Amino acid sequence: MDIKNFAACFIDLLGQKNTLLGQGLVPEVTDLASYQKFESSVGNSVGHIKNLHDNFELLSKQYRRSTEISNFYTKEQSDAVEKANCVIQRWSDGMVLYTSVDNDHRKLSISAVHEIFMYAGIFCFLGLAQKQPLRGGMEISWGWERNGCEIYGAVVANAYKEEQKAKLGRISVGSICVAYLLDLLQSSPMDLYQDANRRCAKSCLEMLYQENDNFYIDYLGAEFYKKFFSQNKDFWGEQYQLALGFTKEQILQHKASKCLELESRYEKVLEYFELRTANFV
């Protein structure tokens, strides 16, 4: 059994269990009213899951072609980056993105951690823009990979704990992950590969914001915008307005229904969006 260190991020689409609870067999097509209701339910559940997975495939291609990312590495480093992809483990109403964190610095495994930061942040942003909020949690710990696409161990438990902490519209990053990145940042690089890992760790840390003792991916922040949104400003500006509008709608809806917990969570998201408005105007 090969036990290694891994970085893993849980991505969880919210509200899916309530949407699916109590449903039964596929209705007959001849029962038009029932079938239309069924189709609507499928779109609000399976449709959102499919959309999340499709976004992953699209973003993975865009990440590799990004000028900002390709200019970040030399030709030799880029060859190592190509092999340091993160793995996706699909499950129920979400996914787990993970990668081994290798002691061999020439494998540039921190580039895959950087990639997970990107996916998680954009998923969180697009989820709000598409009226399908999610949350996530990321951590680095020991784990065991089975069949090349399934991850178990402390990293799963710790990432799941961070995901619960995120509440809504955020990706929480654990203290072990932050400490690991800080250690890399403070190291003295001995070659180009160690230097690439250090610069990658620096970029990851610049994509975080701190709230009390907790860290979250700053997916609307300046570093994130520079790396991933600056090449298509109009599109991401539109997504910002859609996400902002949805958040305000949810606050009014939960205020009217006196659901104080969800009202408070969306108000926290709104506060974050308003703090980052300057990056999208």
Full set of structural domains in the chain with CATH: 3-229 (3.30.70.1230)
pLDDT tier, 195 (very low <50, low <70, confident <90, very high otherwise): confident
pLDDT at 266 over 60: yes
Residue type, 247: T
Is the separation of the CB atoms in 94 and 11 below 8 Å? yes
Q: Look at residue 221 in the predicted model and tell me its pLDDT.
A: 95
Distance CA 170, CA 132 (A): 13
pTM (2 decimals)? 0.83
Distance CA 250, CA 196 (A): 42
pLDDT tens per residue across span 149-174? 789 999 999 999 999 999 999 999 99
Q: Look at residue 218 in the predicted model and tell me its pLDDT.
A: 97
> Rounded to the nearest 5°, which phi and psi values hold at 77?
-70, -35
Average of per-residue pLDDT across 194-210: 92
pLDDT tier, 18 (very low <50, low <70, confident <90, very high otherwise): low
b/e for 165-197, b at 16 or more Cβ within 10 A? ebbbbbbbbbebbbebbeebbeeeeeeebbbbb
Q: Which residue has the higher pLDDT, 162 or 130?
A: 162
Q: Give the Cα-Cα-Cα angle 221, 222, 228 (nearest 5 degrees).
A: 90
pLDDT at 203 over 80: yes
Residue type, 34: S
pLDDT at 98 over 70: yes
b/e for 47-64, b at 16 or more Cβ within 10 A? ebbebbeebbeebeeebe
List, in sequence order, the alpha helices (H) in the chain: 16-20, 32-44, 46-65, 67-70, 75-83, 110-129, 154-166, 175-185, 192-206, 222-224, 233-256, 260-275
Reduced to 3 states (helix: H, G, I; strand: E, B; else coil), residue 191 is: coil
Distance CA 113, CA 50 (A): 24
Residues whose CB is less than 8 angstroms from the CB of residue 141 and which lie 6 or more positions away in sequence, other chains included: 5, 6, 8, 153, 154, 155, 157, 158, 159, 176
pLDDT tier, 56 (very low <50, low <70, confident <90, very high otherwise): low
Distance CA 110, CA 21 (A): 40
- What percentage of residues in the chain have a pLDDT greater than 70? 75
pLDDT tens per residue across span 31-53? 677 666 666 666 655 555 566 55
